[in-house]
Amino acid sequence: MRKLYDVIIVGAGSMGMSAGYELSRRGLKTLLIDAFDPPHAQGSHHGDTRLIRHVYSGGPDYVKLALRADELWQELEGVSGEKLLERTGVLNLFDPSVYSYADRFQYSAELGVPFEELSTEQVRDRWPSLRVPDSYRAMYEPNAGLLYSDKCVTAFRKLALQTGARLLTDTFVTRIEPSASFVTVHTDKGVYAASSVILSAGAWFRTLEPFVRLPIRAVRKVVGWFEPGTTAYDADRFPGFTFGDETGGYYGFPSVGSSGVKIGRHDTGGEWKPGEELAPFGTAPEDEEDLRRALDAFLPGAAGRLLRGSVCKYEHTPDEHFIIDRHPEHANILLAGGFSGHGFKFASVVGELLANRIELGRWGREIERFSVSRFSASGISHSQGGVPS
């Protein structure tokens, strides 16, 4: 069979579309395949906005990646002509008896990331609309903010197509057949081949079993937009935020235009599998009640009428760190998944990493922590078959 493409990307969401643009602008003949029509509501990128921040726990490698991702988002803004990033700042409120921010402060200070450690009194003075327990501490990052996630994916898509990539939408992959020289991808609309393949199927990785089994668990997540009773929560006055204690961890966004204050919960969530219906927002009373309780506790003036609710999917690994690696048995197949609810901000740099590996044979950065080999039972299958469940 002729090698029709240099690269085929299975899964054209945030990571896949970013890689597609990066590869096609480097002159590689690229085919993107998605089961839906991105941007869409079947993955992990919809819902208008995602936080972007640089003060990160887990090691300096995350901080370095976040800083490079920010540079690439700014570049994407310039090339696309679209407004993709808002510097609202991000405020992290935490109970020091539950969470330690010492490592975040250390890594960020060493790498020159601006941030402020604030007392509860300083937080209340700066943002009087916040209710903060006396025992809490805060960290404010002024250069952080939000990304317009759907617009980001749209920008990647538009530029990928303009630079020569091809996109197949509403197309299901039914089998992947690797060989030493190329990889054949069977779909319900035809058969395609390429020298290299990227698998970036997100919450849909299970549809690629048994060819590849990764320790990724998809869970249902809910977010809600609430009507604030004051302009104090508008994006020009109020930052993005995270807060948490022993009961749970939450994140949110100021009101952009008339959007309302958006809030979601990072922990919890029922497992979801491809083929199952994803229960819509409001199916369970706690979908709204839990979010409203959190607003009442910390942002009481924002807990007004529910404007809308939405559901999406997280794709968790056991340690909540990413998988970015080559397939251990097939060097011409790359894996990108398990972004565990904190990956979107990195989509721009993940695309660059994947393109580097394919074009140059190296990642270009230290990403050993994202190796699939860290899982004792990686689940990488020896089978070359696989039909979606």
Annotation says 152 is catalytic: no
Catalytic residue among 45, 217, 265, 312: 312
Catalytic one among 30, 45, 49, 316?
A: 49
Token look-up 């979908």 returns 287
Task: Give the phi and the psi of residue 292 in degrees, each rounded to 5.
Answer: -65, -40
64 noted as active-site residue:
no
Distances in whole angstroms, Cα of residue 145 to Cα of each of 52, 53, 389: 5, 7, 38
- Give dist(CA 64, CA 111) in Å, integer: 8
- DSSP string of 180-231, one letter each residue: SS-EEEEETTEEEEEEEEEE--GGGGGGGTTT---S-EEEEEEEEEE--SSG
Spacing of C-alpha 312 from chain mean position: 11
Of 45, 46, 151, 157, the catalytic one is: 46
* Catalytic choice (50, 217, 221, 342): 50
Please provide the DSSP assignment of 133-166 as one string.
Answer: -TT-EEEEETT-EEEEHHHHHHHHHHHHHHTT-E
Is 74:85 a contact under the CB 8 Å cutoff? yes
Query: Among this protein's residues, is 40 annotated catalytic?
Result: no
d(CA 110, CA 61): 12
Q: How far apart are CA 333 and CA 9, in angstroms?
A: 10
Among 175, 213, 266, 365, the active-site one is 266
Q: Please indicate whether residue 330 is annotated as part of the active site.
A: no
Q: Is 46 a catalytic residue?
A: yes
Residues 221 and 265 sit within 8 Å (Cβ to Cβ): yes
Catalytic residue among 45, 53, 157, 262: 262
Q: Confirm whether 186 is a catalytic residue.
A: no
Q: How many Cα atoms occupy the beta-carbon half-sphere of 150 within 13 Å?
A: 9
CB contact at 8 A, 165 and 32: yes
Catalytic residues: 46, 49-50, 262, 266, 312, 345
